[in-house]
Amino acid sequence: MNNAKTNQMLNNEFVDVRPQKTTGAGAISFEIVAPTPGKNWSLQRIEIHFSKASTTSENFVIAKDDVDNAVYDVKYYNNDISTDSVVDIVYIPDKNITLDADDKITITYTNTDAATYGIKAYVKPRY
């Protein structure tokens, strides 16, 4: 099976879900982009795992970087994950997040405690 593309049946509709992923142990600055260049797209979910809970007070942020102007940027998730000893985050939007072709989703976190992390973001093109 091709890891770049996972095909699923959802609501009797063929959906082309594509994961984007990264891993590391330092500061996180990850951009999620359109799976098909030039096509609008949507965010399905983001999964993050840390090797250990953070003890340093820092916010973990998932945000939209809007291509039109920074005034349209919005934070979808903004939380100090040290307060709850978080090691796993699964972000599933309550409502459909449709993005323009050149919009990006950004994930940022200082990660002072240098926890090893793995991030998978599942996105799909909008046809």
Query: d(Cα 102, Cα 21) in Å, to the nearest integer?
Result: 19
In the predicted model, what is the mean pLDDT of residues 41-52?
Answer: 96
In the predicted model, what is the mean pLDDT of residues 117-127?
Answer: 92
In the predicted model, what is the mean pLDDT of residues 24-40?
Answer: 94
pLDDT at 84 over 80: yes
pTM of the model: 0.85
Res 109: pLDDT: 98
pLDDT at 62 over 70: yes
pLDDT at 15 over 70: no
Domain ranges in the chain are 19-125
Query: d(Cα 18, Cα 7) in Å, to the nearest integer?
Result: 8
Res 60: pLDDT: 98
- The pairing of strands 88-91 and 41-50 is antiparallel
pLDDT at 65 over 80: yes
CATH architecture assignment, domain 19-125:
Sandwich (2.60)
Rg (C-alpha) for the chain, rounded Å, is 15
CA geometry: angle 41, 43, 48, nearest 5 deg: 145
